[in-house]
Amino acid sequence: MNYDKLTESAKKTLLVKEYEDNKKSFKDIANEYGTYPNKVRRDAIKLKIKIRDKSEAQKNVLALGKAEHPTQGKERSESIKKKIGQSVMEAWDNLDNDELENRKKKARDNWNKLPEDIKENILQEANNAVRKASRVGSKLEHHLLNSLVNDGFKVDFHKEQNLLNTKLQIDLFLPKMNVAIEVDGVSHFEPVWGEDSLKRNKKYDNKKTGLILGKGMVLIRVLQKKDYSKSRGDCMYQELKAVLEKIKNKFPEPDNRIIIIGDK
């Protein structure tokens, strides 16, 4: 069959059969029917045949066994994983404001399209996750805890402290250094659960700050305004460790005992 001599109706029938039903690529069709891939593609667009996007095309190639999955079944070294995570984090951090707003808008639009029952389930799971994090600690808290312990720091995790007859939990406490570390998620500075909840969090944070400083401790607040990732956790830990090394060398004067790091 000579593709170039087919009528438009015959071309459409052929493309529906080979491209849509048999999942062949434009290159496969061109090779089989003696023409060029770009010509087949142009005809498909002209005849209003839905073109597979890059993701669909890749899945199709893998499903047909024409290529191997680039990562499936392959182990990456920790250094490679770290480099990949770092590059992804930097890509997000370097997005300009227009692109960032565009992605936020797409996320909002996708959320608004969800059925109400699915939205309710997602919100319920999010609430459960927040409550669980308040009991057992967030992912970033555990990341910092493990990193500190691995580097030989003595750390008390979520230990209740008696501060002026008031029992308060400090996220991470370094008793030998007299340093308190508080990891503040986005709900500490944005009304994610409403304005009343934000006011309560700020009031509690201010009270805790005063009591910690009153005991002569250094308070390090780690701000987490972006989603947790191991790469971001590594960066925050390096920043935290640098601050702790300075405190080791010279304990700060009373006026300099609040230190803020993280996503400023």
Average pLDDT along the chain: 82
70 assigned to some structural domain: no
Whether residues 141 and 190 fall in one domain = yes
In whole angstroms, give the CA distance from residue 153 to residue 138.
20
**Over the stretch 160-176, which tens digit does the pLDDT of each residue have?**
765 656 667 889 999 99
Report the DSSP pairing between strands 166-174 and 156-163.
antiparallel
73 assigned to some structural domain: no
In whole angstroms, give the CA distance from residue 140 to residue 146.
10
Mean pLDDT score, 142-157: 92
CA 124 to mean position of chain CA atoms: 20
Quote the tokens at residue 264: 């400023």
Domain hosting 226: range is 137-262
The model's confidence at residue 247, banded by pLDDT at 50, 70 and 90, is very high
Whether residues 13 and 48 fall in one domain = yes
Quote the tokens at residue 132: 């669980």
Whether residues 253 and 198 fall in one domain = yes
pTM of the model as a whole? 0.56
| pLDDT, position 84 | 66
Whether residues 42 and 145 fall in one domain = no
Q: Is pLDDT of 73 > 80?
A: no
Whether residues 148 and 256 fall in one domain = yes
Q: What is the CATH number of the domain that holds 196?
A: 3.40.960
> Based on the number of CB atoms within 10 Å of its own CB, is 57 exposed (0-12), middle (13-18) or buried (19 or more)?
middle
**Over the stretch 4-46, which tens digit does the pLDDT of each residue have?**
888 999 999 999 998 888 888 888 888 988 899 899 999 999 9
CB 253 within 8 A of CB 202: no
37 assigned to some structural domain: yes
Residue with more model confidence, 240 or 97? 240
Structural domains in the chain (count): 3
Residue with more model confidence, 112 or 221? 221
Residue with more model confidence, 58 or 204? 204
| pLDDT, position 143 | 92
